[in-house]
Amino acid sequence: MKRARLGVLISGSGRTALNLANACESGSILAEVALVVAHREELEGVTRCRDAGLRVAIIPPAAPLSDAFADRIDAVFLAAQVDLVCLAGYLRKFRVGNLWCGRALNIHPGLLPDFGGHGMYGERVHRAVLAAGVTESGCTIHEVDEEYDRGPVILEKRCAITPGESATQLAERVFALECLAYPEAIAMVLARRDRGWQGQGAPLGWKIAGAVQ
């Protein structure tokens, strides 16, 4: 069976990209990381991904919603024959358009629809969770659409809040869940894709006709 080609977008440490690469290597996902895209050469994640043998492309900063910037990202993903785009701690808005509709996922370090939206990322999410006094948190993997953190949910994993823990401590516990959840969600999406390719019809949200072969 064909291995899917993942295009991964990063803005920081690259931990999530490396986790996906490890999941591909172990066989947890029938896929490979075809290309990692970042917007700054000096990002820690760029060095870490290259050291792990992953291809990395740098798309210099520009207005995040500009057509030129989005066109360049599309171009490098198309050249790499990417099947599925995975946002991995990516802090810029990704243009889905017709090309990637149903073929772009994001992981969020909180339970949606609460604690999501523009500007809610990293420890900001965990601080908001603790300030709200809720009893649990977790992570959410969802399809990317044209609004921040609002696409259909694919999978979530939850953990109880430990009394007295800091945002940093909660972040580490949630990241441990993310390492399990993202590969699992990708495997679920690819299984739907493969069923569609086997003649059972395209599952909701997967645009077979637009897939890069």
CB count within 10 Å of CB 6 equals 28
pLDDT tens digits, one per residue of 166-213: 999 999 999 999 999 999 999 999 988 766 543 333 333 444 333 332
Rounded-to-integer distance, Cα 59 and Cα 41, Å: 9
- Which pTM does this prediction carry? 0.88
Both tokens of 150, joined, read 């609002």
108 labelled catalytic? yes
* CA 115 to chain centroid: 17
Q: Which of 39, 108, 126, 142 is catalytic?
A: 108
Taking alpha carbons only, the member of 113, 133, 127 closest to residue 174 is 127
Superfamily of the domain at 4-210: Formyl transferase, N-terminal domain (3.40.50.170)
Domain boundaries of the chain, sorted by first residue: 4-210
Separation CA 42–CA 46 (nearest Å): 7
Q: Are 57 and 76 in contact (CB under 8 A)?
A: yes
pLDDT (tens place) for every residue of the chain, 213 residues total: 689 999 999 999 999 999 999 999 999 999 999 999 999 999 999 999 999 999 999 998 776 567 889 999 999 999 999 999 999 999 888 999 999 999 999 999 999 999 988 888 889 999 999 999 999 999 999 999 988 888 999 999 999 999 999 999 999 999 999 999 999 999 999 988 766 543 333 333 444 333 332
